[in-house]
Amino acid sequence: MEAPSRRRSASPPTRPGRRPALRAARWLASGAFAVLVVAACDTTLEPSPSQVVPVPTFGSIATAPPDAGAALLRNMLGPFRSKFVPVADDIAAVVRQACIAAADPVLSFGLTDQPVAVADARGLGLISVILADDAGAFECRATLSDDGSSATTIEPPSRLDPGGTGALEGDAISRVSQTIVSDPSGQRTIAFGRVGPEGLEVGVEFNDETEVVAAVANGWWAAWWPGIKDPGGIVSANHRNEVLNHVPDPTRLVEGRVTPAPWWVETEPKPIATTVHATMVERTCSGGRSPRGRLATPTIALTKASVEVTVWVRRPDPGGCLANPEFPLVIRLPEPLGTGRTLLDGSETPPRDATIHPA
C-alpha cells in the first residue's frame, strides 16, 4: 500500500474535542473522463491478488465491449486499493444500463433520463454509481464480470433524498448518505455526497492516519471502505492539496436513500387550506415499524391545475415484510390549495388524486 502524502491545511476544519487526520494521497484528474475512483487502507477484507469476486446470480445484467486498459481492469477486479482506478466511459455505461434494467418501475420514475454523475471503483469487482441530474438522483451498486464486459446489480437502484442532493457552491461539502451494507464483498461502509466546484479532492480520513480518497466528478463525491470503521473527518481540498472545508460529525451514519410513500386524505381540503391532514403507509418492508423519525422533506410541485405532493421516507434498517402501519401525516403547502386545483399524490405514475385511497 502506498503511503499517502501529508495534506497541508490552509485553515484546518475541526470539530470540538476531535481533530480529523489530515493525511491524503495526491491524485491526477483524468481529462478524457471526469469520473475517478480511489481507495482506502483498511485491509480486514482484502483478498489475495489472485482472488476474483464472482458475479452473483441475482440482479439485472447488461453487457457491452469494454474499452478499459487491461491494467485498469485488473485493478478494478483485484484487491481493495488505496489509489483510484479511472472508470472508462463504456464501463460506466454498462453499469448504468444494468441499474436502469433492475429498477422498480413504480419507484424509479425519471431514472432512464439520468446520466452517471460519478462512479466509484476501488477493487473487488465492485462499482458504485450516482445517476443524477437537476430532476433527482439515484445510487446503484454493481459487480463487474471478470472480463469487464458486463455488470450485475447488487440491488435495485435507490432514489436519494431530494432535500439533500442540491448543488453546492465554493468549497462546500455535504454528506448525502453514509451507510453500512452487506453484499458479495462482505460488510462495508458506503458514503457519498455533494461538493462545490472549488473542492477538487475529497478525503475520508481516519484517526489511524489512513485515508480513502473519494471519486469526484460533476459536483458529487463517492467512496467506500471495508468494515464499519468510523471516519475522523471528511474534507474537501484544492489542487494544491490544501484542506478547504469539512463535513460535521462524520462518525454518525446518515441514510440518504428514500422511497416515495402513498398517502391520501379522507376529505378534500378547502380552497383556503395551507395545511393538509393526511394518512400515509410506507411501501418498503420495515418490519411493521412506524416511519416516525424517517420522514424526509416532501416534494411539492405547483401548477394552475394541481398541487402534487410526494412524501419521502428514508429506508429503514433491515426488517421483515410485515404489514406496515398507517401513519398520520401533516403536509404544509407553500400557498393555499386554491379553487379548482386537484391535490395529487406523487408517489405513483401518473400521480393519483389524493382523495382516492391507493390500491
- What is the distance between the alpha carbons of residues 131 and 160, in angstroms, rounded to a whole number? 10
pLDDT for the residue numbered 71: 81
What is the CB neighbour count within 10 angstroms for residue 347?
23
pLDDT for the residue numbered 33: 27
pLDDT in tens, 37-50: 333 333 233 332 32
Statement: residue 344 has pLDDT above 90:
yes
pLDDT band at residue 81 under the 50/70/90 scheme: confident
Interval 28-35 mean pLDDT = 30
pLDDT for the residue numbered 285: 73
Worst-scoring range by mean pLDDT, 246-260, 270-284, 314-328?
314-328
Higher-scoring residue by pLDDT: 57, 178: 178
pLDDT for the residue numbered 59: 42
SS3 of 184-220: the string is CCEEEEEEEEEECCCCCEEEEECCCCCEEECEEECCE
Average pLDDT score over the chain:
80
Tell me the three state secondary structure of residue 96.
helix
pLDDT band at residue 322 under the 50/70/90 scheme: low
- What is the distance between the alpha carbons of residues 78 and 54, in angstroms, rounded to a whole number? 12
pLDDT for the residue numbered 14: 39
Statement: residue 315 has pLDDT above 50:
yes
Higher-scoring residue by pLDDT: 29, 282: 282
Q: Percent of the chain, pLDDT > 90?
A: 55
Interval 315-341 mean pLDDT = 83
Higher-scoring residue by pLDDT: 89, 119: 119
pLDDT for the residue numbered 318: 62
Which range, 2-16, 204-218, 313-327, is most confident? 204-218
Worst-scoring range by mean pLDDT, 52-66, 144-158, 208-222, 257-271?
52-66
pLDDT in tens, 229-266: 999 999 999 988 899 999 999 999 999 999 899 999 99
Distances (CA, A) of 202 to 41, 126, 135, 316, 347: 15, 20, 25, 28, 34
Worst-scoring range by mean pLDDT, 70-79, 155-164, 170-179, 224-233?
70-79
Statement: residue 63 has pLDDT above 70:
no
- What is the distance between the alpha carbons of residues 205 and 247, in angstroms, rounded to a whole number? 11
Interval 177-185 mean pLDDT = 89
pLDDT for the residue numbered 319: 57
Cell match 418490519: residue?
287
Cell match 483524468: residue?
30
Query: Model's pTM, two decimal places?
Result: 0.76
Q: Percent of the chain, pLDDT > 70?
A: 78
